[in-house]
Amino acid sequence: MPSAFSPHRWASESSRIGMRPAFPSRSAASCQDRTRGRTCCRAALRLAERKCEACEQDGEALQYMGFCAALGREAAGEYLSQVSGWQIVEDEEKRLRIRRNFRSRNFLKGLELFRRIGEVAEAEGHHPDLHLEGWNRATVELWTHSRGGLTENDFIMAAKIDDIKKDDLLRSKRKATKTQT
């Protein structure tokens, strides 16, 4: 788990440089899950168990440090190791995004995959770009539009997409047949 982005790190960083911590309620002291008496800390949660944070309100970007800060390539690479099948790409304006490709069994199953992803996106308030081409080539791209790049929200969504049940929709991976040489 990259410690660089735990709320404790952000809280100590922000106090060190004199900035208000992004989520004061999440400082180490208050990050205590009183119902179960154990520290329930965001940084200890798998990406798929975290919740996307709204990065803007009424069209205004929220000045948070932390979860909404646009990530550089190195920090994005640290998060990438926690999701599966995704790659970091640059768009025509050099903005980072992550992309995962799927092959659906048919066109309608490709649309059903998007529907299942859409349900998670609506629940999280963070939405992917979805492309379905050549009837069964489904591409999912994630980036944080309000930040013009990648934030933790994109990797939370990627992890949640990884967890979506989808084997019934996708072509099985062709067994690699080794040709005898």
Ligand X SMILES: C[C@H](O)[C@H](O)[C@H]1CNC2=NC(N)=NC(=O)C2=N1
- Which of 116, 127 has the CB closer to ligand X? 127
Residues in touch with ligand X (CB under 6 A)? 54-56, 125-127, 144-146
Task: Name the residue nearer to ligand X (CB basis): 58 or 168.
Answer: 58
- For ligand X, the closer CB: 11 or 143: 143
Tokens of 164: 């979506």
- The β-bridge partners of 99 are 87, 141
The CB-of-144 to ligand X minimum distance in angstroms stands at: 4
Nearer to ligand X, 82 or 146 (CB): 146
- Cα–Cα distances in angstroms (integers) from residue 79 to residues 7, 50, 74, in the given order: 15, 13, 9
Q: How far is the CB of 152 from ligand X (least distance, A)?
A: 12
**Closest distance to ligand X from the beta carbon of 56 (Å):** 5
Alpha carbons 40 and 44: distance in angstroms, whole number: 7
Residue whose CB is less far from ligand X, 54 or 80:
54
Residue 22 Cβ, how far from ligand X at the closest point, in Å?
A: 16
| Residue found under tokens 């060190």 | 16
Q: Minimum CB separation from ligand X for residue 62, in Å? A: 9
- Closest CB to ligand X belongs to which residue? 146
Burial class, 76, CB count within 10 angstroms (exposed 0-12 / middle 13-18 / buried 19+): buried
Q: Looking up tokens 């944080």, which residue turns up?
A: 144
Q: Which residues pair with 165 in a beta bridge?
A: none
25 phi and psi, to 5 degrees? -65, -15
Give the closest residue to 113 by CA, choosing from 90, 136, 86. Answer: 136
